[in-house]
């Protein structure tokens, strides 16, 4: 579930302090920490979507065009 460094706030660096864990142990530790950070992260803040009057009209027209039977071109 990598997001290529685009997390906000930046993710802390994860290091193993114990002397030379096996590669399987290191992977398990890193996976557990990643899962903990994902599970305890605050929910993303929803930004209000602001559309201009033209965009709102276009969206309404686009949605209503699909709802009307027999209004297709051709």
How many other C-beta atoms can be found within 10 angstroms of the C-beta atom of residue 38?
9
Question: Which residue from 50, 42, 48 is spatially nearest to 7, judged by alpha carbons?
Answer: 42
Helix ranges (DSSP H) in the chain: 23-40, 53-67
- Do residues 16 and 26 lie in contact, with contact meaning Cβ atoms separated by under 8 Å? yes
- Do residues 1 and 34 lie in contact, with contact meaning Cβ atoms separated by under 8 Å? yes
- At 36 the pLDDT is 92
| Tokens read off for 20 | 């030379």
> Residues of the chain whose pLDDT is less than 50?
none
């Amino acid at each position: 579930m990598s997001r290529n460094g685009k997390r906000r706030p930046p993710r802390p660096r994860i290091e193993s302090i114990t002397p030379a864990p096996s590669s399987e142990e290191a992977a398990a530790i890193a996976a557990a920490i990643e899962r903990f950070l994902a599970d305890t992260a605050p929910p993303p803040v929803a930004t209000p979507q602001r559309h201009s009057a033209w965009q709102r009209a276009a969206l309404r027209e686009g949605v209503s065009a699909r709802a009307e039977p027999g209004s297709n071109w051709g």
